[in-house]
Each structure stands twice: as structure tokens, then as C-alpha cells.
Amino acid sequence: MPNPIFHFEIPVTDMDRAVAFYHAIFGVEFSRQTIDGYDMAFFPRDSKAPGASGALAKGDVYKPTHDGCILYFVVDDIDQVIEKAQKLGAQILYPKTDVGSGGFVAEIEDSEGNRIALNMMKS
């Protein structure tokens, strides 16, 4: 199994704010629905592309945190994404760092208080 992760859910407390934040920094459109009583906003999914996709999720079992798993979002321009995030008030938790063959990484706090990571491969 080359990519064992199929789906992730990012906890949010304010869905509209979270959708606006992720749309602004990644330029993605979300599809929203209620599933089993929980408000969900799904990132785009291409079943033929490698990797996983997921959703923003709001409900009593979803608690934003800096602790736990860290999701890495692949970006084309890490500096641009960091700049957009900072303009939206995001805190930089781990500055842009060269990790050799893994490219560049950084960690930010999203609008809900979650720690998320950015990854940009070198050209």
C-alpha cells in the first residue's frame, strides 16, 4: 500500500472562518455537508491522484490543538503561503527550514488553533 492515509479531518470551532482561512492560503474550494450531525467542509479530492484529502470538521468530538498529528500541505511557493497566512493573523510556529532532499518546511497555526505544516519541494 503506497499511500496508507485516505482521509483526514481538521477540527474547527468556526466553520465559516476556517473555510475562509484555508481558501485564502491554498486557493481551494470546499464542498460542505452535514454528516452524522457534524458540519463538514471537504477539500477537493481527485481519486486518480496520489495522496490523501480530507475535511474541516466541526462538532463536539473535534478539538483544535497544537498537539497530536501534524498534516503537511504541499505548496508551490512556501514563502507566498506563509505571507498569506501571516496577513490573516496566523502565527508561525516553525519558520521556513531547508530539510535537504525533502525541500522546505514550515509550520503555522491555522485560524482555529491547529498546528499545520507546509512543504515545498526544491526545483
CATH code for the domain of 75: 3.10.180.10
Give the tens place of pLDDT for each residue, 95-108: 999 999 999 999 99
In the chain, the number of structural domains is 1
SS3 22: helix
pLDDT tens digit sequence for 56-113:
999 999 999 999 999 999 999 999 999 999 999 999 999 999 999 999 999 999 999 9
- Residue tagged 497530536 (cell numbers): 68
The number of angstroms, rounded, from the C-alpha of 87 to the middle of its chain's C-alpha atoms is: 17
| Residue 2 in domain | no
- State the Cα angle at 16 between 12 and 19, rounded to 5°: 75
The answer to the question of residue 66 being in a domain is yes
Residue with cell 474547527: 12
Answer yes or no: is pLDDT of 50 > 90: no
Query: Is 110 inside any structural domain?
Result: yes
Q: What is the pLDDT of residue 72?
A: 96
- Judge contact between 4 and 50, C-beta under 8 A: no
**Structural domain boundaries enclosing 25:** 7-120
Q: Please list the helix, strand and coil fractions of the chain in percent, rounded to the nearest 5, in that order.
A: 20, 35, 45
> Is the pLDDT score of 5 beyond 90?
no
Give per-residue pLDDT as tens, 29-45: 999 999 999 999 999 99
Rounded Cα gap, residues 29 and 122, in angstroms: 26
Q: Grid coordinates 499545520 are at which residue? A: 116
